[in-house]
């Protein structure tokens, strides 16, 4: 992942991490990247998963799916296990083949966050994997998770201490962006972003890409952002398209074609194609199209 982000910084574009949740969504992302000739970060996140399922076999199952997809890809790919809740999940992900990981430590006090993140960095770097870190909680626009409800922005001095003492390869920042923002657009503080860029030596990452304004992307890239995380909008588009497809099914539908056939009548395929269009659109916005 570090190489993808450093290349993006040098060439004034950003790479999208488009979070998948199953085989169809994973295919949507990689097909979009190949058709757009764009580098991409694929992967799965822990934040919205059932934690019992996720930690008792789910990580390894998802990892196998994504690993094959990454190995077969015709464009540069990194494979991220994003925002997991425990160091055990990190260890499982590294063992299963993810080459980039992120532990959600942002709610911890800074010094404790540094200690926990350094454990992740040591484990990942020993295996040649990269680590994304976060030293502040990102506001949560959903109002449903009970976490990340604050509005604090990333302090440049704290960010410098965090990066220098952990050795993370990329830093997620809070500059007005919000997790799970499905209504409206974030208000971005570019002055804060510039101060963070000047304080830390690693590529910067924007979580909450769904609500991040398209017209703020170019300046954000100029100010050190090399990666945008996108998830919520893809699920929303996927679900809405499936609803439309179900509504069009005849009373006696061919269930063999309607579920899992990958044929035109497959309702899951229709969701995949709709999500793929949005991924391709964002690759244009991020400037990564034709950069593979």
Q: How many domains does the chain have?
A: 1
Please give the residue range of the domain that contains residue 233. 2-285
The CB-side HSE value for 44 (13 A sphere, CA atoms) comes to 31
CA distance 29 to 20: 8
Q: Apex CA 251: angle with CA 249 and CA 254, to 5°?
A: 65
Residue 290 lies in a domain: no
CA distance 207 to 262: 31
CA distance 234 to 210: 8
- Spell out the long-range contacts of 111-116 with Cβ–Cβ below 8 A and sequence spacing 24 or more: 113/162, 114/161, 114/162, 114/165, 114/166, 116/87
Q: Apex CA 139: angle with CA 194 and CA 284, to 5°?
A: 60
Using DSSP bridges, classify how beta strands 77-84 and 40-45 pair: parallel, antiparallel or unpaired. parallel
Q: Do 66 and 79 form a contact (C-beta atoms < 8 A)? A: yes
Residue 292 lies in a domain: no
Strand partners for 85: none
The pLDDT score that the predictor gives to residue 184 is: 63
CA distance 224 to 230: 18
Per-residue pLDDT of the chain (292 residues; tens, 9 = 90+): 999 999 999 999 999 999 999 999 999 999 999 999 999 999 999 989 999 999 999 999 999 999 999 999 999 999 999 999 999 999 999 999 999 999 999 889 999 999 999 999 999 999 999 999 998 887 776 554 444 444 679 999 999 999 999 999 999 999 999 877 666 678 899 999 999 999 999 999 999 989 999 999 999 999 999 999 999 999 999 999 999 999 999 999 999 999 999 998 999 999 999 999 999 999 999 999 999 9
CATH code, domain carrying 126: 3.20.20.70
Residue 153 lies in a domain: yes
Residue 6 lies in a domain: yes
Q: Do 99 and 71 form a contact (C-beta atoms < 8 A)? A: no
Residue 291 lies in a domain: no
The pTM score is: 0.94
The pLDDT score that the predictor gives to residue 138 is: 78
Copy the structure tokens of residue 143.
Answer: 């109002």
The CB-side HSE value for 67 (13 A sphere, CA atoms) comes to 13
The contacts of residue 243 (CB under 8 Å, 6+ apart) are: none
Copy the structure tokens of residue 184.
Answer: 């409206």
């Amino acid at each position: 992942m570090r190489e993808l982000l450093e290349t993006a910084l040098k060439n004034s574009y950003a790479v999208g991490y488009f979070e998948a949740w199953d085989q169809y969504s994973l295919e949507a992302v990689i097909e979009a990247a190949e058709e757009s000739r764009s580098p991409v970060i694929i992967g799965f996140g822990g934040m919205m998963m059932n934690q019992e399922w996720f930690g008792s076999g789910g990580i390894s199952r998802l990892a196998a799916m994504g690993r094959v997809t990454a190995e077969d890809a015709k464009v540069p790919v990194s494979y991220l296990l994003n925002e997991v809740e425990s160091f055990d999940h990190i260890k499982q992900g590294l063992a299963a083949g993810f080459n980039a990981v992120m532990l959600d430590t942002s709610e911890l006090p800074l010094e404790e966050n540094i200690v926990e993140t350094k454990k992740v960095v040591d484990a990942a770097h020993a295996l040649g994997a990269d680590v994304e870190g976060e030293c502040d909680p990102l506001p949560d626009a959903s109002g449903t998770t009970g976490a990340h409800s604050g509005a604090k922005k990333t302090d440049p001095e704290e960010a410098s201490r965090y990066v220098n003492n952990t050795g993370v390869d990329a830093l997620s920042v809070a500059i007005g962006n919000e997790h799970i923002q499905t209504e409206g657009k974030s208000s971005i503080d570019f002055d804060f972003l510039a101060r963070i860029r000047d304080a830390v030596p690693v590529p910067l990452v924007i979580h909450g890409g769904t609500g991040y304004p398209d017209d703020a992307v170019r300046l954000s890239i100029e100010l050190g952002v090399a990666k945008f995380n996108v998830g919520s909008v893809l699920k929303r588009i996927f679900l809405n398209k499936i609803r439309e497809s179900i509504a069009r099914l005849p009373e006696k539908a061919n269930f063999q074609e309607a579920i899992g056939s990958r044929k035109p009548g497959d309702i899951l395929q229709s969701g995949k194609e709709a999500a793929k269009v949005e991924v391709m659109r964002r690759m244009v916005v991020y400037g990564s199209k034709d950069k593979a």
